[in-house]
C-alpha cells in the first residue's frame, strides 16, 4: 500500500503540490489525472524517490521511499521521457536493469521483446519515439516491480501497442499483485484499466475515488419537457444544463434512480440517464473550478 500524507513540494516560488494525501491500495491500478501543471509528474517523482518532499511523507507498506534502495528495488518509474545509456542497445539496458532490480526476469524480457517485435541488439538511438517507449515498457515490466509508476506512458504508442501495454499491465496486476499508478491525459485509455482515480488541479487534490463510485455519482440526463423546465425544481446539483427546443441535456450529481425520479417529477415526458465517460467527468469537475475552455476563449 502506498500512503501519501500531506505532501507539499515547491520549486522556487512555485508550489507544485500542496498537502496531497492519497492512499493507493495493493494490487490496484491507480489513475492520476489532472490539468496541465497540476503536479502529477512531481507526485510520481516523489513516489519513486527522485524528489524529496518539502513536507509530508510517502511510505510503501510503511517504509519511507527516500534513499531507501531496498524499497526502490521494488519500484519502477516509467518516465514520460525515456533515458537510455548513450549509444546503448536494449540488450545493454537489460544489463543495467538486471544489475539493479533483483527480480529482473530474463525470460519475460525475451517474451516481451518478441511481443513488441523489437530487435534488442539495435541501438536505441535509432528507435522511433514509440519504439523507445516500448523499450522502456519492456524493461520496466521485465523487472517485475511490485510498484509501477507510469507517467504519460500511452503517449507515442500506437493503438495496438497501447492495447498490448494495457493488457500486460492488467495481467501483471492480476498475476503478481503489482500496483500501478498511471498518470495520463489520455483519459479514455486509463478509464478501461483503473480502479481508482485521483484528480489534481492547481497543485491540490480535487478527489481520489473509486472509478465506479465516481461514475455512479454524476450522470448526463437527457429529458424532454412539454413546457418550461425550471432547473431549480431539481433537488440535485446541476453541473451543466443546455436546452434545445423541448430537449434538455444536463449533467447532474446524484444517484441514478433518484435523479430520474426527480426529473420525471419535474414534468419530463421522456428521461434517460447516461453514465459519463472519465473525460466528461474530468471536464465537468474542471468546469466547476472555472477551468473550461469557454472561459479561456
Judged by the rule CB under 8 A, the positions of this chain that interact with another protein are 11, 45, 48-52, 67, 69-73, 75-77, 79, 81-83, 85, 92, 95-96, 98-102, 104
Q: Are 2 and 60 contacting, i.e. CB atoms less than 8 angstroms apart?
A: yes
Residue 97 vs 207, nearer CB to another protein: 97
Least distance CB 83 / another protein (angstroms): 4
* Cell of residue 260, nine digits: 430520474
The rounded distance, in Å, linking the Cα atoms of 282 and 206 is 10
Q: Are 180 and 48 contacting, i.e. CB atoms less than 8 angstroms apart?
A: no
Least distance CB 34 / another protein (angstroms): 19
Residues 6+ apart with CB under 8 A from 145: 74, 75, 76, 101, 103, 178
Residue 71 vs 157, nearer CB to another protein: 71
Q: What are phi and psi of 245, to 5 degrees?
A: 65, -125
The rounded distance, in Å, linking the Cα atoms of 144 and 164 is 17
Least distance CB 248 / another protein (angstroms): 49
Residue 78 vs 194, nearer CB to another protein: 78
Least distance CB 73 / another protein (angstroms): 4
Least distance CB 96 / another protein (angstroms): 6
Least distance CB 67 / another protein (angstroms): 6
Name the region of 129 (left: φ>0; alpha: ψ -120 to 50; beta: rest). Answer: alpha
Residue 146 vs 196, nearer CB to another protein: 146
The rounded distance, in Å, linking the Cα atoms of 44 and 181 is 8
The rounded distance, in Å, linking the Cα atoms of 22 and 19 is 10
Residue 25 vs 102, nearer CB to another protein: 102
Residue 12 vs 245, nearer CB to another protein: 12
Amino acid at each position: 500500500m502506498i500512503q501519501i500524507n500531506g505532501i507539499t513540494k515547491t520549486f522556487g516560488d512555485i508550489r507544485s503540490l500542496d498537502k496531497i494525501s492519497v492512499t493507493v491500495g495493493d494490487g490496484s491500478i491507480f489513475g492520476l489525472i489532472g490539468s496541465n501543471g497540476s503536479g502529477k509528474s512531481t507526485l510520481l517523482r516523489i513516489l519513486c524517490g527522485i524528489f524529496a518532499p518539502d513536507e509530508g511523507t510517502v511510505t510503501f507498506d510503511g517504509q519511507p521511499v527516500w534513499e531507501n534502495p531496498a524499497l526502490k528495488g521494488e519500484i519502477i518509474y516509467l518516465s514520460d521521457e525515456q533515458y537510455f545509456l548513450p549509444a546503448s542497445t536494449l540488450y545493454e539496458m537489460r544489463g543495467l536493469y538486471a544489475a539493479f532490480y533483483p527480480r529482473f526476469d530474463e525470460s519475460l524480457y525475451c517474451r516481451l521483446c518478441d511481443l513488441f517485435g523489437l530487435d534488442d541488439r539495435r541501438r536505441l538511438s535509432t528507435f522511433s519515439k514509440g519504439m523507445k517507449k516500448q523499450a522502456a515498457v519492456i524493461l520496466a515490466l521485465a523487472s517485475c516491480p511490485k510498484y509501477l509508476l507510469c507517467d504519460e506512458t500511452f503517449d507515442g504508442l500506437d493503438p495496438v501497442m497501447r492495447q498490448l501495454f494495457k493488457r500486460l499491465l492488467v495481467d501483471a496486476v492480476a498475476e503478481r499483485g503489482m500496483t500501478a499508478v498511471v498518470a495520463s491525459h489520455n483519459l479514455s485509455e486509463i478509464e478501461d484499466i483503473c480502479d481508482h482515480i485521483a484528480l489534481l488541479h492547481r497543485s491540490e487534490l480535487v478527489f481520489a475515488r473509486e472509478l465506479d463510485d465516481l461514475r455512479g455519482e454524476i450522470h448526463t440526463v437527457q429529458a424532454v419537457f412539454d413546457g418550461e423546465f425550471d432547473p431549480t425544481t431539481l433537488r440535485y446539483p446541476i453541473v451543466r444544463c443546455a436546452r434545445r427546443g423541448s430537449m434538455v441535456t444536463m449533467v447532474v450529481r446524484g444517484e441514478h434512480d433518484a435523479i430520474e425520479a426527480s426529473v420525471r417529477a419535474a414534468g419530463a415526458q421522456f428521461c434517460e440517464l447516461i453514465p459519463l465517460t472519465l473525460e466528461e467527468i474530468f471536464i465537468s469537475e474542471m468546469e466547476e473550478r472555472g477551468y473550461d475552455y469557454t472561459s479561456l476563449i
